[in-house]
Structure 1
Amino acid sequence: MGMRVATFAISQQMIAAALKTQSTMADQQMQEASGVVSPDFGGLGSSTQQVLNLQVSVTRAQSYIDAATQTGSKVQVMYSAVNSIADLTTQFRSLLTAATNAASTDSASVTQSARDMLTEMASLLNTQYSGNYLFSGARTDQAPVDISSTTYAAATSPSTADASYYQGDSAVASVRVSDSQTVSYGVTADNTAFEQIMRAMNLVASNSPLTTDTLNEALDLTTNSVSALGVVQSKISNAEASIEKASASQTEYQSYAQTLGSDLTGVDVAAVTASLSTYQAQLTASYAAIAKVQSLNLASYLH
């Protein structure tokens, strides 16, 4: 009775297993070197969509952070300008108070001071940031205040509200700081607080000699403006706080999303290194076994 040694099938199975081990080792060597599961999305398997979604979220969060940062700087410049306007308004009120309480008023001096302050007021309301006017609504390329108009300059007492100096529009600037939140921060130069002090300065600047009625009306308007300016300052300050809070929230979310994405795409290099040692030993043993099987033949078996 004859005996047959069938080594071919066994040899092929062992070679296939060795090649699979070698492929696994190659992947892990790449992971060990790069620190990531795969250099492309194709190697992430079921995690691919989640990783893509996280990357989109991180990019979107960064766009909100950038918008908040840029707007925050703009709001700070705006707040500084309004603070300067408030200081100027207080100075003008002191000028009027002294003029109304004096036994005699130097009309020419008070009128000239009012003209100078009106010019300074217009300059503050024409404040720019990065080449854009801050108090002109959506017309950021247009200076919001023009006091050269002869109609505006011919103010008489008693007066009525007059914002004919305003060249902007009614749009209120805002910034989107998240998918669900938009913060309005804009103030236009025709705001009541600005209109009242502009009108008060214009009354005094346009009338000489000054009458008691003109001085009293200008003082009342200035006093009202001081209160209204406090409201404007609070609005801008609150908007700045909201923008900063939203930016911090987006930064925190971005950090979380980046960490989660790294967990999905990254590998534990130490664990991979240990696994590689195991696969190396396994592959070495496989090669030795394959060599042994392939060296078998009937003669050596019968020997």
Structure 2
Amino acid sequence: MTRISTFSQGQALVTQMLRNQEYLRHEQTRVATGKNGDNLKDIARDANVLLSSRSVSARTESYMSANRELAVRMELQNNALGGIAGIADEFRNDLIKTVNLNSGVGLIDKMTDHMDRLVNLLNTTLNGKYIFSGSRTDVSPINVSTTADLLALANTSDAFDNNAIKLTQRLDESRSIEHGQLANEIAEPLLDGIRRIQQFANGTLPTGAGAYAPAGAFTDPLSENQINFLVNEFSVALNAIETARSAEQVNGIHMSTVQNQLELQAKELSFLDIFTAEIENVDIAEAVANLKSGESALQASLSVIARLGRLSLLDFI
């Protein structure tokens, strides 16, 4: 019994049916995964753009991670700098109060307390590394811990072991920031002021204080030369405050810069995520519609092939 359909017609129908099967499989995968393809071959037209977008995202995320760590460091630095500036304020107030009360009682004890707190703040660490030591992060930036140690030095500057290299960090591909603060730059005026009071009390005239002889322990009431010496030290205290506050302000500016950079990079990542998603991700509504269309097309193909397989000339006689 001779079939109506020819061999070539049958092959064409089978080929179309296989195409419909492949189309349906592709749409099923898209709906199941939410992606336009399993690999870059499936999105060959946009592959280069996608790879570039992923590369930029990876670099941005790397910079953001480093910048978050830097923000933590600068917050810690800010707290320490604020503490140092606070000690400088107290130092000046102690001098004023001593003169106003006309009594040296307790002044040296206060200097000792200031010294202890200052040393602790300068020895601030993050992950075991000293933050005020320049690039010598494994070395304490200050080598004295008591006023006795301080008085034993030839110069106040000898108390510092940090180097002069301020730490820097790249914020992105084109911007860097010098964020490091050095112990000697932020605290030497304050430490020198404390040392000068201690020197005078121990009977040694500090540099430039020859007019206030004789030096000696502060009394109650104060002698005229002691009052004059303490009044002269007001300017030393003001310099210590200005130095510490200036460092705190610079650090605050850098903190703002880092925060702004993080916000900008977060926006960049958000944009890149959306951009990448438009390439990789499917429109679910469209994919579902295509899936239904593919199912209908495959069903129709199979139905036609089945019907043609049953036809013969007898059906038309």
Give your verdict on TM over 0.5.
yes
Question: Which of 260, 263, 282 in structure 1 is aligned with 2:275?
Answer: 260
Q: 1:284 aligns with which of 280, 295, 299?
A: 299
Aligned to 1:231, what secondary structure does the other structure show? Answer: helix
Post-superposition shift, 1:151? Answer: 7.7
Note if contact 2:5-2:308 (Cα within 8 Å) is conserved in structure 1.
Answer: no
Whether the aligned pair in 2 keeps the contact of 1:155 and 1:203 (CA below 8 Å) is no
Contact preservation (8 Å) 1:68, 1:247 = yes
With over 3 angstroms needed to count, the CA separation of the structure-2 counterparts of 1:115 and 1:289, relative to structure 1, is same
Please say if residues 126 and 135 of structure 1, whose CA atoms lie closer than 8 Å, have aligned partners that are also in contact. yes
Note closer, same or farther for the CA distance 1:6–1:25 as it changes in structure 2 (3 Å cut).
closer
Conserved in 2, the CA contact under 8 Å of 1:155 and 1:206?
A: no
In structure 1, what is the equivalent of residue 83 of structure 2? 84
1:110 counterpart letter in structure 2: L
Amino acid at match of 1:167: D
Match of 1:41 in 2: 40
Distance 1:16 1:105, change over 3 A: same
Task: Give the aligned residue type for 1:231.
Answer: S
Shift of 1:291: 2.4
Q: Which moved more, 1:96-105 or 1:19-28?
A: 96-105
CA, structure 1 residues 45+173, in 2 after alignment: closer, same or farther (shift >3 Å)?
same
* Residue 196 (structure 1) shift: 0.6
Distance 1:179 1:278 in 2: 48
CA drift at 1:183: 2.1
**Residue of structure 1 in register with 2:22 after alignment:** 23
Tell me, yes or no, if the aligned pair for 2:164 and 2:182 is still in contact at 8 Å.
Answer: yes
Closer, same or farther: CA 214–83 of 1 in aligned 2, 3 Å: same
1:30 to partner: Cα distance: 0.5
Q: How does 1:188-267 map to 2 (within 5 A)?
A: 188-191=182-185, 193-207=186-200, 208=202, 209=216, 212=226, 215-216=230-231, 218-267=233-282
Deviations 1:50-94 (A, max 9, x none): 111111222211112211211111111111111111111111111
Instruction: Assess if the C-alpha contact under 8 Å between 1:138 and 1:169 holds in 2.
Output: yes
8 Å contact 1:200–1:222 — kept in the other structure? Answer: yes
Partner residue in 2 for 1:115: 112
CA contact (8 A) 2:193 2:236 kept: yes
Amino acid paired to 1:57 = V
Deviation at 1:175, TM superposition (A): 2.5
Query: Are residues 16 and 129 of structure 1, via their aligned partners in 2, closer, same or farther at CA, if it must alter by over 3 Å?
Result: same
| CA shift for structure 1 position 294 | 3.3
Q: 1:151 to 1:177 in 2, by over 3 A?
A: same
The equivalent of 2:60 in structure 1 is 61
Instruction: Provide the C-alpha distance between the structure 2 equivalents of 1:6 and 1:38, rounded to a whole number of angstroms.
Output: 37
Partner of 2:160: 166
Moved more, 220-229 or 143-152: 143-152
Post-superposition offset of 1:44: 1.4
Q: State the AA in 2 paired with 1:227.
A: E
Does structure 1 retain, via aligned residues, the 8 Å contact 2:88–2:241? yes
Q: Alignment partner of 1:267: what SS?
A: coil
* Distance (Å, rounded) in 1 between the aligned partners of 2:66 and 2:97: 47
Per the TM alignment, residue 282 of structure 1 is displaced from its structure 2 partner at its CA by 1.7
Shift of 1:167: 1.2
Aligned length: 293
Residue of structure 1 in register with 2:206 after alignment: none
Cα pair 2:82 2:245 within 8 Å, conserved: no
Identify which range, 215-224 or 195-204, moves more after superposition.
215-224
Question: What's the RMSD between the two structures over aligned residues?
Answer: 2.5
- Residues 35 and 148 from structure 1, CA distance in 2 versus in 1: closer, same or farther, beyond 3 angstroms? closer
> What is the rounded CA distance, in whole Å, between the counterparts of 1:236 and 1:216 in structure 2?
31
1:163 counterpart SS class: helix
How far apart, in 2, do the equivalents of 1:102 and 1:291 lie? 112
Structure 2, unaligned runs of 5 or more: 203-215, 218-224
1:153 has 2:142 as partner: no
Alpha-carbon distance change, 131 to 244 in structure 1, aligned in 2, over 3 angstroms: same
The residue that corresponds to 1:140 in the other structure is 137
The reply on whether 1:269 has 2:298 as its aligned counterpart is: no
- CA distance 1:292–1:226, change in 2 (3 Å): same
CA distance in 2 between counterparts of 1:183 and 1:206 reads 40
**Structure 1 residue 155: deviation in Å?**
6.3
* Structure 1 unmatched ranges of 5 or more: none
Task: Kindly state the Cα deviation for residue 214 of structure 1 after the two structures are TM-superposed.
Answer: 5.2
